[in-house]
Amino acid sequence: MQSPDPQTFEQIRALLEAPFWTHGGFWIELPIGLAGLVFSILAFVEAKRAAIAATEAAKAVKLQSMSGELIEISQELQGFKPGITFDAAKAIYGEVLFKLQRVMAPFEKDSGLHSQIEAVVAALETAHEALNRVLPADPSKENVAPDSVYYGVEDQFSMLNGHIGRLLGLVEQQSVEKRK
């Protein structure tokens, strides 16, 4: 094998010892690299904004869904009318309890809804207690005192419906604010 020419060896050594910024390739690659970095940062910022917007849109859709559910629950509570039996009242309560717990759960920690959700939960407990107070000892004698179930629970269920109405108003308010 032939040894390298001393002059070639000196040229290679000079190139390696020279500062990197003296090479023309550095000045071509630097702006390209900086532009790539800037575009990467801009893409990251836009992706972050898009994620926040998607989260807000999802919450707005959930609020609208909650609004519809609350209206439906309120209409179910309208089923408390004179002549209602204990079993029918218990069935309505059970259905309303399930639906309210399901629809309120995602928003329990929402600062704008938290206190009203607690009021609805307290009203549910009061309605349950009222329902337990009118539990007939002998279901066959429930007709002896007609409307006793209705008058025994109507006030508490009306209060529950009022709290649901207030919660509905707050949900609709937040839904409108999300659209702005």
Are residues 56 and 178 in contact, defined by beta-carbon separation less than 8 angstroms? yes
Pairwise CA distance, residues 83 & 80, whole Å? 9
Q: What is the pLDDT of residue 179?
A: 65
**Three-class SS state of 146:** coil
User: E strands within 117-171?
Assistant: none
Choice between 1 and 61, residue whose per-residue pLDDT is larger: 61
Pairwise CA distance, residues 159 & 155, whole Å? 6
Q: Which amino acid is at 83?
A: G
| 8 half-sphere exposure, CB direction, 13 A CA radius | 3
Going by C-alpha positions, the residue among 103, 106, 105, 85 that lies closest to residue 95 is 103
Q: What is the pLDDT of residue 30?
A: 85
Q: What is the pLDDT of residue 38?
A: 93
Are residues 164 and 120 in contact, defined by beta-carbon separation less than 8 angstroms? yes
DSSP category for residue 33: H
Tell me the whole-structure pTM to 2 decimals. Answer: 0.69
Going by C-alpha positions, the residue among 74, 167, 64, 158 that lies closest to residue 119 is 167
Distances (CA, A) of 63 to 29, 34, 163, 174, 179: 51, 44, 17, 8, 11
pLDDT tens sequence across 119-132 = 999 999 999 999 99
Map out the domains of the chain with their CATH numbers. Answer: 6-179 (1.20.120)
> pLDDT > 70: what percent of the chain?
96
